[in-house]
Structure 1
Amino acid sequence: MKRFEDKVAIVTGSSNGIGRATAILFAQEGAKITITGRNSQRLEEAKQEIQKSGVPEAHVNVVVGDITSNSVQEELIQSTVDKFARIDILVNNAGGAILDKMGNLGVNQSLDNFDETLNLNMKSVIVMTQKAVPHLEKTKGDIVNVSSIASGPRSVPDFNNYSLSKAALDQYTRNSAINLIEKGIRVNSVNPGVVVTGASEALGLPKEISEKYLNVLRNSKHCVPARFVAKAEQIAQAIAFLADRNMSSYIIGHQLVIDGGTTLVTGMNATNFAELMN
């Protein structure tokens, strides 16, 4: 029996990257799945990838739209329950950095950018959680939030608003975990480091610049000690672990860091003192 047989999962932001990889994995492991995103073409590609795994079309529910829209949030919950009669797992994956319209970085990022970023990375998670809880309480379900190592405690000076939103998400994970375990619902998060997802290109970086950037990271031991950049499928495996009651039943309110050692490096241990002393 597959580990998510007879389970129903919603994965937000599942048209690409980590969300798509997670939706495919859950479906392959037996779950009926709701996928969602703004780009209908990419969502169709995700659906086709799921079906190539031998998953019946009837096991896939597709909702096109912006996760920050209340009507889309309502449709995600209602269409899932209408089609599959239950919800067992909610993966709050939709999110990302949003460029300031004036190109400002750090503390100069605008309040409009702050509001837009928080609306995507934090408010949508709160609302989706609230809407899903009555259904998850019935199934003793699980929530996995997708955060980032940008949440701290180290600084991310250029993307101030993004890092603030992810820090808030980490605290929300901890708070909601204690609130909801009383209803039998577990809440955890994954906090990835550098992952190949296409996010940099979505921010407007040309593909060749994105590749150069990733190569610099993977070849610098003080950036990624593991010396490779994760694939979306590796993060999906961690999400599946946290959503699997048989594998992680005693883990509650945890932030699972998946970063190839990035957050273990400090300025001191990244420095070659032997070279400096010569």
Structure 2
Amino acid sequence: FLTFPLLQTSPTSGMSFFQGKVVLVTGSSDGIGRSAAVLFAKAGAKVTITGRSSDKLAVTKSACVAAGAKAGDILELAGDVTDKQFITKLVQDTVDKFGRLDVLVNNAGAAIIDFTGKNGLDIPIEIFDHTMDLNVRSVILISQLAIPYLEKTQGAIVNVSSIVSSLFTCSQPFYPMSKTCLDQLTVQMAGTLIKKGIRVNSVNPGIIRTNFIQAAGLPSDAAKQFYDKADEKESTQIPLGKCGVPDDIGKIIVFLADRSQSEIIVGQRIVADGGSLLKNSLLSAEV
């Protein structure tokens, strides 16, 4: 059976694999990104956290410090990952402060909801452009900037995708399309970058209890309705019997980034959905 140890230590040194290593996690002001940042910090890594909200980043930093990190080992930069100038600064400031980069976690992403009442391919093309810009183009740009540093450290890239890349969702098609594109990007990156010693993989979560729905622009009551419906279907639509939580995905991200544990895994989509794809209808328009 596969296990995903959080703080695996070297049998000779007694130290975590991530001790002294540097990790950059995008979209780390909340949810899965925050969880991953805290777990990396707990494992001894120096971590750059980024998101659009300075207040939420402060909460993430406090959680990292509470997990055992020194305040000086956490770099927080608020900004928009679709802004090339910002992500250039993000990567450069990380290397300037810590001297290296070992892991890039491309977690930032969102479903951009159209509130005009249109569905499917009637949704304005501007929504498609925004979705692809955030969920795909930004990943390409920041990865291009990080690759020279990751090559020096024989590092890893972990992309955060979604099981919707494999599903039909008639009401909002652009988000699943973007994640399908991200899955193929993971494969192309993996095949190319392994020649440089850089491993690339993705984790594809199912429904995870985060603020993702609110971040998509839905009001809190609509978000509650979404999760209430998910709760009703947990026992029948999720074989595991429950939705996931951010740490479920954060632990997998840490595992995939840990060469001492997952070196043989290259170019893979690790589906983490409690078995939802076995049902194939969890994220249909009726949910």
Please state which band the TM-score falls in when normalised by the shorter chain. over 0.9
Determine if the alignment matches structure 1 residue 28 to structure 2 residue 60.
no
The match for 1:259 among 270, 273, 277 is: 273
Q: 1:101–1:265: structure 2 CA closer, same or farther, 3 Å change rule? A: closer
Counterpart CA distance in 2 for 1:33 and 1:24 is 9
Are the counterparts in 1 of residues 31 and 211 from structure 2 also a CA contact under 8 Å? yes
C-alpha distance after superposition, 1:134-160 (max 9, x if no partner): 0000000000000000111x3121121
Are the counterparts in 1 of residues 24 and 103 from structure 2 also a CA contact under 8 Å? yes
Determine if the alignment matches structure 1 residue 238 to structure 2 residue 252.
yes
For 1:50-129, what aligned pairs fall within 5 Å after superposition? 50-100=64-114, 102-129=116-143
What code does the residue aligned with 1:155 have?
F
Indicate the residue corresponding to 2:170 in structure 1.
157
Are the counterparts in 2 of residues 63 and 75 from structure 1 also a CA contact under 8 Å? no
**Which deviates more from structure 2 when the two are superposed, residues 88-97 or residues 69-78?**
69-78
Structure 2, unmatched stretches of 5+, are: 1-14, 282-287
Are the counterparts in 1 of residues 110 and 215 from structure 2 also a CA contact under 8 Å? no
Indicate the residue corresponding to 1:40 in structure 2.
54
Structure 1, unmatched stretches of 5+, are: 268-278
- State the TM-score, normalizing by the size of structure 2: 0.89
Counterpart CA distance in 1 for 2:193 and 2:33 is 24
Counterpart CA distance in 1 for 2:185 and 2:280 is 27
C-alpha distance after superposition, 1:152-195 (max 9, x if no partner): 1x312112110110000000000110000000000000000000
Are the counterparts in 1 of residues 113 and 217 from structure 2 also a CA contact under 8 Å? no
How far off its partner does 1:222 sit? 4.0
The match for 1:6 among 20, 32, 36 is: 20
RMSD: 1.3
Indicate the residue corresponding to 1:140 in structure 2.
154
What code does the residue aligned with 2:173 have?
N
The alignment covers a number of residue pairs equal to 266
* Identical amino acids, percent of aligned pairs: 44
